[in-house]
Structure formats: structure tokens, C-alpha cells
């Protein structure tokens, strides 16, 4: 612990996701004073038809 869950629409590269998870982990280490090894991050990606903002699916925005 702590655990970080990111909810996002699909469409980012593996490189973007890897770098994001590294930076989120670093932010946790810096601010909460925990060792990196106890921090887990999971990105929960949704097809654009499964995510909406303002009631409109990202597949149509």
C-alpha cells in the first residue's frame, strides 16, 4: 500500500503508460514517504464506447 487505480479511455502507448506509472509511483514515494516497492499502480482502460463525459461516449466526442 498505497494502491493507485487510474481510470482512462484506451489509446495511450505502452511507453506513455510505463512513464505514467513511474511518475505516479515517484509522487507517492516523495509525498507519503513510502518505499517505491510497496506502491502498486493499475491502469483500468475502457474502450471508448464504455466511457463518457457529459453523458456522451468518448467514441463520439
Show contacts with its own copies in window 15-44 (CB under 8 A): 16-28, 30-32, 36-37, 39-44
Min CB(25)–its own copies separation in Å: 4
The 3-class secondary structure across 6-45, one letter per residue, is EEEECCCCHHHHHHHHHHHHHHHHHHHCCCHHHCEEEEEE
**35 catalytic per annotation:** no
Neighbours of 13 (CB within 10 A): 8
Q: Which residues bind its own copies (CB under 8 A)?
A: 1-9, 12, 14, 16-28, 30-32, 36-37, 39-46, 49-60
Catalytic residues: 2
Amino acid at each position: 500500500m498505497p494502491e493507485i487505480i487510474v481510470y482512462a479511455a484506451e489509446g495511450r502507448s505502452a511507453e506513455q503508460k510505463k512513464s505514467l506509472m513511474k511518475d505516479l509511483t515517484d509522487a507517492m514515494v516523495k509525498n507519503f514517504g513510502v518505499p517505491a516497492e510497496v506502491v502498486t499502480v493499475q491502469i483500468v482502460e475502457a474502450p471508448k464506447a464504455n466511457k463518457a463525459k457529459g453523458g456522451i461516449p468518448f467514441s463520439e466526442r
